[in-house]
Structures are given as structure tokens and as C-alpha cells.
């Protein structure tokens, strides 16, 4: 009987990480709009570093941060929480690897917001939070959604960092990329082809959404 668990595990990780990176990435992008100079360069490097580092390196850093021998890991252990080799670890890995795409997409979109509208709102006494929610977000929405679509696709295809911090536990942490890898390694090409087809279709759908919103933004 075919095991559909990798699909549900991957979708759960991608959806939950998408919620987190949407909030964190958009907030980080808004924060950077008010920063100038060398500090902005440093922050931008830190936020986009996961985009260029090998996923295995990111997984190693996550192991160091959340491992049982780390300060955070020991603190979590005292609270009865263990993240390594759990489904929650798949979400954490997905957040880390997909955050830069959301951040870059949101930052680029917010930078294109008409500043005249922002300053007009300020002269009317609107708070910065109201300006962000009622003016900036609606204008930047297509670009933000495009970044979210890319982040979702990246989360769905995450392999290296997830393997290190979550492992390959069938029914618990085995995502589609891991199912493909281990099916291929075991000579089960039929299963591998099925999962390749599934992840290709879902990824193409995400890219289609991204292009649709990018085209809407240009119009």
C-alpha cells in the first residue's frame, strides 16, 4: 500500500513555515526600511545568509542551537520539550531556509510603495502601524504574495537541513524530498517517480502563482 505520509508531512511543514515566514519576513522587511548605512548592510547579510549557505550547514547550525547539549536545548529539555528528530524540526528547518525568499520579496515590494501616500497619511495623523496595514501592505501585496509562493515552494523542496535536524523517520519526519532520495537509493524507482511528479506539480503551481502576482504588480 502506497504511503501518503510524506505528502502530508511536507505540506504541514510548508504551510506552517509559510505562516511564520510571512509574519517574520514582512516584519523584518518593514523594519529594514527605517535603517540606513552599514547597519542595514549587516542586517541584510544576516537575513539573506541562509539563501547562499548549503542546507547541510544550516542543519548543522540548527543542531548546535537546539541540540540537547546547547543552552537552549537544555532549557527546552527541562521544560520537557525535545525538537530534534520531531515533525516540529521539519517546520523549523523550512522556516530557516525559506525566510530569505520571503524577506527579499517583501522588502522589494515595500520599497516600491508610493512614498507620497505614506507621507500624506502621516500628515493626517495616522500611526505607523495603521500606515503599514492600511496603505503599505495593500500596495505591496502582489510582491509579498509572490515572495510567499516562492517560500512555500522552497519549504516543500527542503532536504539537507531537514535531514540533519529531523532525520528520516517514516510517518513522522520523512518529507517528499527524503522519500525520493531513499526510494532511489533503495532501487524503488516507481515510488521515486510518483513523488517527483507530485512535488513538480505543486512547485509549478507555486511558481505560477508567483508569476501571476508579479504580472499583476507590473500592471
Q: Cα Rg for the chain, rounded, in angstroms?
A: 20
Give tens-digit pLDDT for 147-175: 898 899 899 999 999 999 999 999 999 99
User: What's the predicted TM-score (pTM) here?
Assistant: 0.90
Give 133's contacts (C-beta < 8 A, 6+ positions apart): none
Between 131 and 209, the more confident residue is 131
CA nearest to 92, candidates 132, 124, 55: 55
Mean per-residue pLDDT for 200-213? 80
C-alpha to C-alpha distance for 27 and 127, rounded to whole angstroms? 16
Give tens-digit pLDDT for 21-33: 999 999 999 999 8
Amino acid at each position: 500500500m502506497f504511503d501518503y505520509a510524506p505528502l502530508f508531512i511536507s505540506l504541514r511543514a510548508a504551510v506552517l513555515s509559510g505562516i511564520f515566514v510571512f509574519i517574520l519576513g514582512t516584519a523584518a522587511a518593514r523594519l529594514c526600511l527605517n535603517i540606513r548605512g552599514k547597519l542595514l548592510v549587516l542586517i541584510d547579510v544576516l537575513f539573506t545568509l541562509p539563501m547562499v549557505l548549503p542546507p547541510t550547514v544550516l542543519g548543522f547550525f540548527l543542531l548546535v542551537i537546539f541540540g540537547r547539549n546547547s543552552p537552549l536545548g537544555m532549557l527546552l529539555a527541562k521544560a520537557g520539550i525535545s525538537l530534534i528528530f520531531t515533525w516540529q524540526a521539519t517546520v523549523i528547518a523550512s522556516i530557516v531556509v525559506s525566510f530569505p525568499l520571503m524577506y527579499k520579496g517583501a522588502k522589494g515590494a515595500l520599497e516600491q510603495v508610493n512614498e507620497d501616500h505614506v507621507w500624506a497619511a502621516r500628515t493626517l495623523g495616522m500611526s505607523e502601524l495603521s500606515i503599514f496595514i492600511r496603505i503599505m501592505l495593500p500596495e505591496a501585496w502582489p510582491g509579498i504574495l509572490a515572495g510567499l509562493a516562492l517560500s512555500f515552494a522552497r519549504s516543500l523542496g527542503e532536504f539537507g537541513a531537514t535531514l540533519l535536524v529531523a532525520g528520516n523517520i517514516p510517518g513522522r519526519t520523512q518529507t517528499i524530498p527524503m522519500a525520493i532520495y531513499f526510494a532511489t537509493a533503495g532501487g524503488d524507482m516507481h515510488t521515486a517517480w510518483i513523488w517527483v511528479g507530485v512535488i513538480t506539480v505543486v512547485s509549478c503551481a507555486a511558481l505560477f502563482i508567483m508569476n501571476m502576482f508579479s504580472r499583476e504588480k507590473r500592471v
